[in-house]
Structure 1
């Protein structure tokens, strides 16, 4: 069987929820160990397709939401739940939230309280707060347990701070790759001002890992890679996205129009995300951990 045929079969099986026996055995063994190996867990989410039913556990282990030592799991889960309930009770008693508030905004208030920022409105931090909310909104569509969602959101937000530091390099690399692959599209996006120093549009997409842009059920496959330590995958997602809507972009006249267009591309069938992951794998020769 040729490599292309194997890759096609693997891709098809993954789409219908089937995984190779070797991958399933490998993952089960990693999760069953009394002390889970963090490096191997990161390598798994970095290299393979994560089964949906085990994603929450994998992320919680990698992010430190629950301990690698299996014997300590229940105790730490209880502690996380108590902290969550204490924060929720506090913002409720302080009348910062009520029954009309959506879960994402409630969790924002809890997060602000935990970081001693609830009663202090820092204008400079508004963008970061909005990015936290976008992450929570995405996770609410992926996982079910509010306690785990809150803790994962906090940890994933910290991962995005690393991406924020890398945005300058990622934007430079984006221009280099796009110029090489589609110079006409690059020049038009440059004309719209996407790569200008004062434009934060690309920074926001990269920093939130496209939360609120791509459909959550397929975006999660990109976030798997981020959990595993992938810096550049958000860039490949952007490149595949703009190439997919290339013909529509040439009809635009402003950055605001570009923002509206891109944020309507939900990629419900996962074609763009699949291409992005494939392109990222093809262009990365070594594992890069950012945390």
Structure 2
């Protein structure tokens, strides 16, 4: 059950990520503003309590609300990184790190482990996801690689080359968002273990809405939201945004449901399937929107994607066998 939920959620998420990149490239250029518009939707999850009424204790409420605020903070770093580069550069960095961080955190704080077959599937799925999502396929000489690393991360003898400063910011934002995502998912797994799924999910969403209200209390952030709102009032843009948010909400609920039923690290490792869906969507749209997606689909890239698809297939086989 959890496997079907996770795959379905990642399929929807692949389309949402591409649409998010389209919005960030064309309309919304502030990570704070976009996180605000995503978080404000959280209040609508309250209607789910009509189907499963539940009131948490004060301790449970504090835990749920904290998880929601943490998720909103994660979105800021996530959309900041997404805005700095194309979708298939940001998504694989975050996607590869989230399951690794989740595995470490869930082992120490939840006591979750994987058997030999599932551990192998976990590793294969991560590598398959990396291969199918990264776009660089050329093999560089050792010296050039060392020089590039020094330029990006700096050295004891000099400053970071200006050319790579944006790349370093991208890496920092991606790593922070991956760590925050992992902490959030492990925290939610802990919450679901002792609280009803629908009730705890709704109250955690309320925490994200409270985070949205806190954004409005900071004057510079409030100005960003107001300024962005003036540029996004066209009916077409709002309809597209609301449609994507509805799909994202459905995928988010399904993914949380999968986490409540399965192993949190394994659910996150299945993001390799999301990269497969993302690649297929990009393959279909790149001819029409090359200036937006910016993806290169040469022969070397295609071979890399095929190998990634094979690894993901092997990982799924190991998982279900």
Does the pair score TM above 0.5?
no
TM-score of the superposition, structure 1-length normalised?
0.26
The structure with the largest helix share of the pair is 2
TM-score of the superposition, structure 2-length normalised?
0.25
